[in-house]
Amino acid sequence: MNSGLKTTQFPALLLLTILSLAIALLNNSAFAQKKSIKVNRVYRLLNEQKDGYAIWIVDGATVRQSVYHEFLYGGNEQRYLFVPKGEIWIDNAISVEEYSYTLAHELNERKLMAKLGYTYTVAHDSSLQLEYKMRKMNSKLSRSHEKALAKVSPTDCDGIKELHDIADSVELKNIYLQELPLRDSIHIWVVDGSAVRKQLFPDFGFSGNDLAYKFIPNKEIWIDAQISCEETEFSIQCELEERWRLSKGQTYDDAYENALMQTVEARKAKKNEAAKKAAVNVPKVLDRENGTGNEK
């Protein structure tokens, strides 16, 4: 059968087709480069407002995968151009113990770059020194707090003692790490959870309060230093609610269950709040070395 095409015409047609596809791909690539890249599901929860900035806990793994491979601990818009103005980002992978240091670091770094025009390197080093001073101060305050405390009973509210080879009354030593802001007249302390489980009560997990555990001093809530910064606020809310219910005469089981249900609702509210955030716009230039220095 005669198809109307000579055999010698096939290579020419094939070459023409390849060239057409190549041009189309180049055009599509050029068009894509003009468009902004947007990344969804970066925001996890709005943790607090600090010095006029919205402090967002973000999904660090998503940022590293889809935005900036070297993102660690936190970020601000003076260093990272993908962070919206008015926001500070905190990596959800860091612990509650590191949160306050990271936040102070980012706020200080941003201020030095925006107001004084510092380079990122200089502002970063200055912020590391600020962290160092904060760490030393927290260590000093923690040791001082422990020295002022009376001995405690290593038992829970039901009088259960899980470590039978220790005394019935013990000193708290190398437990406290840092104090968080006061809440409802209750002192919130970040503690070494591993040390608590080794020295006092193996079943201590995530957090606890003075009405649930007899080894926690009066009007204190303990937060395990190993939990993530993303879990911190939920743990505090749960302990405050549980403690309030225990103070009203509820059994521990009832107080605990009711506090958990309230925490579930808090999680839903935070999730819905984060879901309303727009996708993150990723610019071609991701970071800057020189601060703007244009802020009064």
Whether the model pTM is above 0.95: no
The conformation of residue 200, written as its DSSP 8-state character, comes to: T
**What residues have CB less than 8 Å from 94, skipping those under 6 apart?**
60, 73, 74, 102, 228, 229
Reported as a single tens digit per residue, the pLDDT across 248-271 is: 999 999 999 999 999 999 999 999
Decide if pLDDT at 1 tops 50: no
Q: Once rounded to an integer, what is the mean pLDDT over residues 22-44?
A: 63
pLDDT mean over 20-26: 49
SS3 263: helix
Quote the tokens at residue 208. 């606890």
Q: Does residue 23 surpass a pLDDT of 70?
A: no
Q: What is the DSSP letter of 156?
A: B
Among the listed residues 224, 227, 226, 228, the one whose alpha carbon sits nearest the alpha carbon of residue 208: 224
Q: Which residue's structure tokens are 């973000």?
A: 58
Q: How far apart are CA 181 and CA 279, in angstroms?
A: 32
* Residue bearing tokens 């935070």: 270
pLDDT digits (tens, 9 = 90+) for 208-219: 999 999 999 999
pLDDT of residue 18: 54
Q: What CATH number should be reported for the domain whose range is 39-136?
A: 1.10.10
> Where do the structural domains in the chain lie, given as residue ranges?
39-136, 151-274
Integer CA distances (angstroms), 119 to 82, 111, 128, 286, 290, in order: 18, 11, 14, 16, 4
> How buried is residue 159: exposed, middle or buried, by Cβ count under 10 Å (0-12/13-18/19+)?
exposed
Report H helices in the chain.
9-34, 60-66, 96-115, 120-148, 193-199, 229-247, 252-275
Q: Is the pLDDT at 7 greater than 70, yes or no?
A: no
Long-range contacts of 36-42 (CB under 8 A, 24+ apart): 36/281, 36/282, 36/283, 37/281, 37/282, 38/279, 38/280, 38/281, 38/282, 39/63, 39/66, 39/67, 39/279, 39/280, 39/282, 40/279, 40/280, 42/67, 42/277, 42/279, 42/280
Stated length of the chain: 296
Contact 191/176 with Cβ under 8 angstroms?
yes
pLDDT tens for 181-224 read: 999 999 999 999 999 999 999 999 999 999 999 999 999 999 99
Distance CA 144, CA 149 (A): 9
- Asked if 71 and 81 touch (Cβ cutoff 8 Å), the reply is no
What are 79-138's pLDDT values in tens digits? Answer: 999 999 999 999 999 999 999 999 999 999 999 999 999 999 999 999 999 999 999 999
29, pLDDT greater than 50: no
Q: For the chain, what is the radius of gyration of the CA atoms?
A: 27
Task: Give the pLDDT score at 146.
Answer: 98
Let me know: does 221 contact 35? Beta carbons within 8 Å.
no
Identify the residue with better confidence: 105 or 36: 105
Taking all residues of the chain, what is their mean pLDDT, rounded to a whole number? 91
What are the tokens at 196? 């608590």
